[in-house]
Structure 1
């Protein structure tokens, strides 16, 4: 067989391997540069390789956060623009994505969203860079066909004002539901608080009401960013962006009780303090936290089996700039990092036994990646 036919056969076999064995990786990105929006890739969990050529490119303006429905047949994104929007897409059984509709979020620069457990509402965090009127939380109904309706509820918080540059206004950074779906937790960087709301899907005009207690207060100027619950909802973990710390909470009757607060960096320079996302391994034994700024690291902790407390394990460079978000693949053997400012996705091997991150197996060029989600 000549060299030409050998190359064609090899390429065909590689394509077949990806098409029959791969998971689907969705990448959201900022579209201020060369990116067009959402990219759909094949990911091979045996090797940790992303097929370099995307299977589909879906045009969407700065889809910075992606949310999949429980059955993974609907995709919702927030479009992080000065006049924010949320967009809805259908996902076929083959993973093909088609746009459905888009609605205004009544706020600026939305950065995060989550879907109610009953799939009836999309909760959107309008971060809003400008302090006036500042950020807000909005509730958007989801129709049975997956299309979004207009906002039915909007909530604004009072800022702490501790940092005059970054906390003059409220900045809702993330909205996370408790595992059973009864409460919504709003991390507000501008208020130095996590606000807690009861969710009632039977109340169409006002699905959210303040819980008791209505919030938990974090250290002044710390800037709460992302919250994550363990599988049983007994413990929660929170990144403090501005102080570059991670907080561990006990959860009881929806209230958050702080048990532990640990630094993500030993560097004294404020430029090294920019905590980002966090993820737990599937078995709940390890927590991974990103710290951006000049640090650009993933910090690994082991998680106490009974008490949920954290023990430092490892600090690993992301080999790029500004890890906006990261994700563990479906096999839990690889960790993928979206390095926004260095325009790349870095894939690292993970040891499931020790939890530690090992060698880099791939670096894929990708303009301004912001979020990573898998369709299984």
Structure 2
């Protein structure tokens, strides 16, 4: 009887429905990459299988996918005639292929980050070298109109080598999409804009339009907690995470925590930050001499974080990483070693463990996943 019951349980495991999701990979194309890659990812096993790729896009380094999964937007991180570009693609979930729609100027040089509203009507883009951000309206077929608004930051920061002028590094809509937050690495500042999707020029300065970080911090990316009660800002140059309380466009400082051990003597190079789907843990990637993922527990009462440890990324230059929709796995894109490494994530402890699974991709920069079970 026990053998029959065990066999029955094993058959149920074998019959468990696959949890495949589409994974989109943005890359730099100067080292042999074909552009944007599409894979299927199994959230039960951590397996990746190639589906398709583009072959005519220059440096589609950062990506954004609409909530319905029908369209994808990619920055073309280039500088031609003092401008980079944003490209739009239609995505066919039936065959996993991207179809190029059009591209528009990003307003200035080297766009490095892009976001899209939940309704898919607006695309925001950050221009790193140009020190600006732009807002592009979206047509009903997913293609882009020319930018309707282009805002150029002015000034410089504390570090003369890295902060000689503004460097807008990212653009994030607040959870309720009433505001747009834009970390500027060059100015040690997070700009806050009020967002009105019905206006021709949708951005206006918020009531308190700026959050200043420590001099030389170089804010890069940010992440809101599930529910939007807290905001976590990653400092690239300072090697720290700034914790803020968030409410209706207002950010209130709570805590600053290093992304590296206290005895680390190298140059910080923090790159990306994400909160687990359950809101219990926070992760940040470090490049430079560290090349690891820093792991933190989040206090549910006050949003403060406490370091739990570090996990080697098994490569160098972890520019971007993501947690899959199930929360079972964390995937890291190591830009300099051309590999994407899949780690299993313990949902109870937050810690990561090696699966032995890796994917070789030239210069992977961005990972985005479309939650779509097949």
Q: Does 1:301 align with 2:296?
A: yes
Q: Does 1:138 align with 2:134?
A: yes
Contact 2:18 2:44 in 1 (8 A): no
21, 24, 34: which one pairs with 1:23? Answer: 21
User: What is the CA–CA distance in structure 1 between the aligned matches of 2:27 and 2:89, rounded to whole Å?
Assistant: 16
User: What is the CA–CA distance in structure 2 between the aligned matches of 1:268 and 1:336, rounded to whole Å?
Assistant: 25
User: What is the CA–CA distance in structure 1 between the aligned matches of 2:53 and 2:153, rounded to whole Å?
Assistant: 37
Higher mean C-alpha deviation, range 301-310 or range 19-28:
19-28
1:38-53 to structure 2, matched below 5 A, reads 38-51=36-49
Q: Which runs of 5+ in 2 are unaligned?
A: 1-14
Contact 1:349 1:361 in 2 (8 A): no
User: What is the CA–CA distance in structure 2 between the aligned matches of 1:21 and 1:184, rounded to whole Å?
Assistant: 33
Deviation at 1:117, TM superposition (A): 3.3
1:126-275 to structure 2, matched below 5 A, reads 126-128=127-129, 134-204=130-200, 206-266=201-261, 267-271=263-267, 273-275=268-270
Deviation at 1:360, TM superposition (A): 3.3
Contact 1:159 1:167 in 2 (8 A): no
Higher mean C-alpha deviation, range 357-366 or range 328-337:
357-366
User: What is the CA–CA distance in structure 2 between the aligned matches of 1:217 and 1:25, rounded to whole Å?
Assistant: 35
User: What is the CA–CA distance in structure 2 between the aligned matches of 1:340 and 1:109, rounded to whole Å?
Assistant: 17
Deviation at 1:315, TM superposition (A): 0.7
Structure 1 vs Structure 2 CA RMSD: 1.5
1:292-371 to structure 2, matched below 5 A, reads 292-371=287-366
User: What is the CA–CA distance in structure 1 between the aligned matches of 2:327 and 2:157, rounded to whole Å?
Assistant: 40
Deviation at 1:116, TM superposition (A): 2.3
1:74-89 to structure 2, matched below 5 A, reads 74-83=71-80, 84-89=84-89
User: What is the CA–CA distance in structure 1 between the aligned matches of 2:157 and 2:175, rounded to whole Å?
Assistant: 32
User: What is the CA–CA distance in structure 2 between the aligned matches of 1:208 and 1:328, rounded to whole Å?
Assistant: 30
User: What is the CA–CA distance in structure 2 between the aligned matches of 1:161 and 1:44, rounded to whole Å?
Assistant: 44
Deviation at 1:20, TM superposition (A): 6.2
Question: What is the match of residue 121 of structure 2?
Answer: 120
User: What is the CA–CA distance in structure 1 between the aligned matches of 2:18 and 2:347, rounded to whole Å?
Assistant: 25
User: What is the CA–CA distance in structure 2 between the aligned matches of 1:220 and 1:279, rounded to whole Å?
Assistant: 24
Deviation at 1:21, TM superposition (A): 4.8
Deviation at 1:93, TM superposition (A): 2.9
Partner deviation per Cα, 1:137-175 (whole Å, 9 max, x = no partner): 111111111000101111112233311111111100010
